[in-house]
Amino acid sequence: MQLNATRTPSEVVALVGTAPTGAGLTLHINVGGVLWMSLTIPAGDLSVQATTAQLTAAGSIAGSASITMDITAVGTTVPGSNLSVFIYM
């Protein structure tokens, strides 16, 4: 995914349909091939929202930069399923 202009996100939310259990589900959002933000949905939860501090530290997303995501950890009993990530501008 790419944006048509540089934007500063106001909110980032990750949701799952089935909660991870045994451990949290961690994902990395990359911008231009570089880690932009890391979020963890705690075990037993269905969502996580980026904090103000995370949004400030992450900064803006350049319009031409490629946005990708890596799942780096999943629940150890149930991994979690149906992951959706929303970046609101």
| Other beta carbons less than 10 A from residue 70's beta carbon | 11
Per the CB < 8 A criterion, the answer to whether 61 and 36 are in contact is yes
Would you state the structure tokens that stand for residue 81, as one six-digit string? Answer: 């399923």
**What's the distance, Cα to Cα, between the start and end of the chain in Å?**
14
The confidence score (pLDDT) of residue 28 equals 98
| Other beta carbons less than 10 A from residue 11's beta carbon | 12
Q: For 55-86, how does the pLDDT look when each residue is reduced to its tens digit (9 = 90+)?
A: 999 999 998 899 999 999 999 999 999 999 99
Q: Residue 64, SS3? A: coil
Give pTM, 2 decimals.
0.91
Q: For 30-54, how does the pLDDT look when each residue is reduced to its tens digit (9 = 90+)?
A: 999 999 999 999 999 999 999 999 9
